[in-house]
Amino acid sequence: MQGLQAEPGILSGHPGSQQERKMDFQYRSGDQPLDGYTIKRGLGWGGFGEVYFAISNSGKEVALKLVRRHLDVELRGVSQCINLKSPNLITIYDVKENDRGESWIVMEYVSGASLQQRLGKTNGPLPYPEIQFWLSGIANGVDYLHRNGIVHRDLKPGNIFSDDDIVKIGDYGLSKFISVSRRSGQTQSVGTVHYMAPEISTGNYGRSVDIYSTAIIAFEMLSGDIPFDGETPGEVLMKHLTAAPNLSKVDAKYQPIFERALAKAPEERYGSAKDLLDAIEAVTAGRPLPIIGQASTSSPVVNPVTPEKSAVEPVINGPANHLQETIALGRRGAMELSIPPLPGTFAAKRRFVGQVFWQVFLAGLLSAIIPTVALRAWESIDRSYRPGMVDFVSALVMTGLTSAGLIVLGHYWQRARSEPAARHLHALIFGLGIGLLWFGLNTWLLQIEPGLSPELSWESLFSERVVEALGPHLLGYLTLCGLTFATPDWFSSVDPQRKSRVTMGWIIWPAVIAYAVGSVIHEVDAGDFALVLGISGLIVQWVSPHESFLARRRRTRRQFAGR
Whole-angstrom Cα distance, residue 129 to residue 112?
Answer: 19
- Average pLDDT over every residue of 253-277: 93
pLDDT top residue among 560 and 115: 115
Confidence of residue 76 (pLDDT cuts 50, 70, 90): low
DSSP letters spanning 444-458? HTT-S-GGGGGG-ST
Neighbours of 55 (CB within 10 A): 15
Domains of the chain, by residue range, sit at: 18-108, 115-341, 346-543
DSSP letters spanning 300-363? PPBPPP-TTT-TTSPPPPS-SSHHHHHHHHHHHHHHH--PPPPTTSHHHHHHHHHHHHHHHHHH
pLDDT of residue 152: 84
pLDDT top residue among 321 and 363: 363
For 476-531, the pLDDT digits (tens) are 888 888 888 888 888 888 887 677 888 888 888 888 888 888 777 766 777 778 88
CA distances from 417 to 3, 50, 89, 122, 421 (A): 22, 20, 26, 16, 12
pLDDT of residue 62: 93
- What are the beta bridge partners of residue 97? 103
Confidence of residue 333 (pLDDT cuts 50, 70, 90): very low
Is residue 488 within 8 A of residue 406, CB to CB? The reply is no
Residue 272 has pLDDT above 90, yes or no: yes
With respect to CATH, is domain 18-108 assigned 3.40.50.300? Answer: no
Eight-class DSSP state of 393: H
Lowest mean pLDDT: which of 94-108, 190-204, 340-354?
A: 340-354
Lowest mean pLDDT: which of 50-59, 281-290, 448-457, 543-552?
A: 448-457
- 95's enclosing H/E stretch is strand 92-97
CA distances from 547 to 49, 211, 309, 352, 354 (A): 19, 36, 35, 17, 19
Strands across the sheet with 61-67, in order?
A: 37-45, 49-56, 61-67, 103-108, 92-97
pLDDT of residue 75: 67
Lowest mean pLDDT: which of 45-59, 313-327, 354-368?
A: 313-327
Share of the chain above pLDDT 90, in %: 24
pLDDT top residue among 460 and 279: 279
pLDDT of residue 8: 35
- Average pLDDT over every residue of 89-99: 88
Residue 336 has pLDDT above 80, yes or no: no
Q: What is the dihedral of CA 184, 189, 193, 197, to 10 degrees?
A: 140
Residue 40 has pLDDT above 80, yes or no: yes
Lowest mean pLDDT: which of 15-29, 98-112, 326-340, 511-525?
A: 326-340
- 20's enclosing H/E stretch is helix 18-22
DSSP letters spanning 226-269? -SS--SSHHHHHHHHHHSPP-GGGS-GGGHHHHHHHT-SSGGGS
Confidence of residue 393 (pLDDT cuts 50, 70, 90): confident
pLDDT top residue among 196 and 294: 196
- What are the beta bridge partners of residue 260? none
Residue 94 has pLDDT above 70, yes or no: yes
Cα 316 versus chain centre, distance: 28
For 4-16, the pLDDT digits (tens) are 433 333 343 333 3
Is residue 197 within 8 A of residue 205, CB to CB? The reply is yes
Residue 60 has pLDDT above 90, yes or no: yes
CA distances from 225 to 89, 122, 125, 381, 431 (A): 26, 11, 8, 59, 39
Is residue 114 helix, strand or coil?
A: strand
For 176-210, the pLDDT digits (tens) are 332 333 233 333 334 468 888 888 777 667 889 99
Whole-angstrom Cα distance, residue 209 to residue 25?
Answer: 34
Top mean pLDDT of 101-110, 284-293, 331-340, 385-394 is at: 101-110
Is residue 251 within 8 A of residue 222, CB to CB? The reply is yes
Question: What are the phi and psi torsion angles at 205 (to 5°)?
Answer: -155, 160
pLDDT top residue among 420 and 309: 420
Confidence of residue 42 (pLDDT cuts 50, 70, 90): confident
Whole-angstrom Cα distance, residue 222 to residue 214?
Answer: 12
Lowest mean pLDDT: which of 179-188, 373-382, 393-402?
A: 179-188
Eight-class DSSP state of 89: B
Confidence of residue 405 (pLDDT cuts 50, 70, 90): very high
Whole-angstrom Cα distance, residue 360 to residue 411?
Answer: 11
For 149-159, the pLDDT digits (tens) are 888 888 899 88
Lowest mean pLDDT: which of 19-33, 109-123, 271-285, 365-379?
A: 19-33
pLDDT of residue 97: 86
Q: What is the mean pLDDT of the chain?
A: 75
Lowest mean pLDDT: which of 65-74, 215-224, 307-316?
A: 307-316
Residue 58 has pLDDT above 90, yes or no: yes
pLDDT of residue 289: 83
Nearest-5° angle of CA 511, CA 512, CA 516?
Answer: 120
With respect to CATH, is domain 115-341 assigned 1.20.120.550? Answer: no
- What are the beta bridge partners of residue 169? 89, 160
Whole-angstrom Cα distance, residue 349 to residue 368?
Answer: 29
Top mean pLDDT of 288-292, 371-375, 409-413, 453-457 is at: 409-413
